[in-house]
Structure 1
Amino acid sequence: MTRYVALLRAVNLGSHKKISMADLRELLAGLGYGDVRTYLQSGNAVFTARETRTERVAAAIEARLAAELGLTTEVILRTAEELQSVVEHNPLEVGDPAKSTVLFLLEPPPEDWLSGIDLGRFAPEEMRAGERELYYRLPNGIGRAKLPIALGRRLKTPATMRNWNTVTNLLSLAV
């Protein structure tokens, strides 16, 4: 059995792509997944599945969300071990966990995705790239941040952001 963390992209933001966490838990249980738990109202779930191929699990969830709830969105998955690695390998100092975030990418960015950009011009904001994650330190807050917006335009893969509190709380639920 594999323990997964599902991060639904762009749900429950404003009035579009609404899903209740009770519906999400029911949907995941209906797919045969066990020990289903959700966190907050922003599309975070932790569950156990027999399937070990992440892409199959994500595709099953996406298909069921569309068929049963009419919700089209990407599901970005990490195993509990992968999420643990994300936490352990954060290259940035976490001062205020509400101002430190992780952008979870569906796929790694292309090698040259940062060519021609001067990250220093966004100071005091910082970014470091992981394998399929971008770590941000945003001292002026997420709402005022410029760096994630500028870099997001360069990414060619779906992604979803979570603050450090959410990341570490999801890890606690997953292990």
Structure 2
Amino acid sequence: MADYVAFLRAINLGATRKFDKAAIVAATEGARFTGVATHINTGNVRVTTRLRSRERVRDVLEAAYLADRGFAVPVAVLTPEELRQAVVDGHALAATMPEGWDGRAYASLMRDEPTPEGVAALEACSTEDELAVVRGRVAHLMVRGYGTSRMTNVAVERQLGVSTNRALTVLEQVVTKWC
């Protein structure tokens, strides 16, 4: 059996994309995953499965969520090891920001493996006080204000494809809770 952490994209936005924690657990268990748990109501889901392929886990979850909700729910799947490394990397990158930097650290978790060209294009958007660095399937964003920054999940998706964004503090909570 293998453990994975799935991050759901674009749920609980507006009136038509509702997917509460209880419904997520029910749909996930209905797809034959065990050890299902959620963290806050933004689509962070731990699963245990016999499936060994991240892509297969993602595909089964996406099909289950589409069947349950009637709308597509893209999913980024990471192993506990990848998630722990993402938190370590996020802290290391935040520590490289200029003295007096008062921004925040975010991570965009990618559904699919990024291309080298996309990685280069996203990282080229960095400035002296906003940074984008890709490590594996995680794009780390160091920004002053998420709503006013050029470094957002929209920028990540433009270069790297479907992803979902979490504050580094949320990833820390998930790691503490499940990894």
Q: Tell me how large the CA RMSD over aligned residues is.
A: 2.5
Unaligned runs of 5+ in 2: none
How far the C-alpha of 1:46 sits from its partner, in A, is 0.9
**Whole-angstrom CA distance in 1 between matches of 2:86 and 2:75:** 18
Give the structure 1 partner of residue 82 of structure 2. Answer: 82
Structure 1 stretch displaced more, 85-94 or 23-32: 85-94
Q: Percent identity between the aligned chains?
A: 24
The 1:20–1:118 alpha-carbon spacing in structure 2 relative to 1, beyond 3 Å, is closer
Taking CA–CA contacts closer than 8 Å with sequence separation of 6 or more, which of the two structures ends up with the larger relative contact order?
1
Unaligned runs of 5+ in 1: none
Q: Does 1:119 align with 2:126?
A: yes
The 1:3–1:98 alpha-carbon spacing in structure 2 relative to 1, beyond 3 Å, is farther
Amino acid across the alignment from 1:160: T
Q: When the two structures are aligned, how many residues end up with a matched partner?
A: 172
TM superposition score normalised by structure 1: 0.86
Matched ranges for 1:87-106 at <5 A: 87-90=87-90, 91-93=92-94, 99-106=104-111
**Whole-angstrom CA distance in 2 between matches of 1:118 and 1:60:** 34
**Whole-angstrom CA distance in 1 between matches of 2:68 and 2:170:** 27
Give the structure 2 partner of residue 42 of structure 1. Answer: 42
Give the structure 2 partner of residue 157 of structure 1. Answer: 161
Secondary structure at 2:158 match in 1: coil
Secondary structure at 1:17 match in 2: coil
Give the structure 2 partner of residue 167 of structure 1. Answer: 171
How far the C-alpha of 1:149 sits from its partner, in A, is 5.8
The answer as to whether partners of 1:62 and 1:74 remain within 8 angstroms in 2 is: yes
Amino acid across the alignment from 1:105: M
The answer as to whether partners of 1:102 and 1:133 remain within 8 angstroms in 2 is: yes
Point out the structure with the larger helix share.
Answer: 2
**Whole-angstrom CA distance in 1 between matches of 2:32 and 2:55:** 16
The answer as to whether partners of 2:5 and 2:79 remain within 8 angstroms in 1 is: yes
Q: Which whole-Å deviations, capped at 9, do the CAs of 1:77-127 have from their partners, x for residues lacking one?
A: 01111111212233412699982100111223322233494522xx42211
How far the C-alpha of 1:48 sits from its partner, in A, is 1.1
TM superposition score normalised by structure 2: 0.84
Amino acid across the alignment from 2:171: V
Secondary structure at 2:93 match in 1: coil
**Whole-angstrom CA distance in 1 between matches of 2:44 and 2:34:** 15
**Whole-angstrom CA distance in 1 between matches of 2:176 and 2:22:** 20
Amino acid across the alignment from 1:36: V
**Whole-angstrom CA distance in 2 between matches of 1:97 and 1:172:** 25
**Whole-angstrom CA distance in 2 between matches of 1:54 and 1:149:** 22
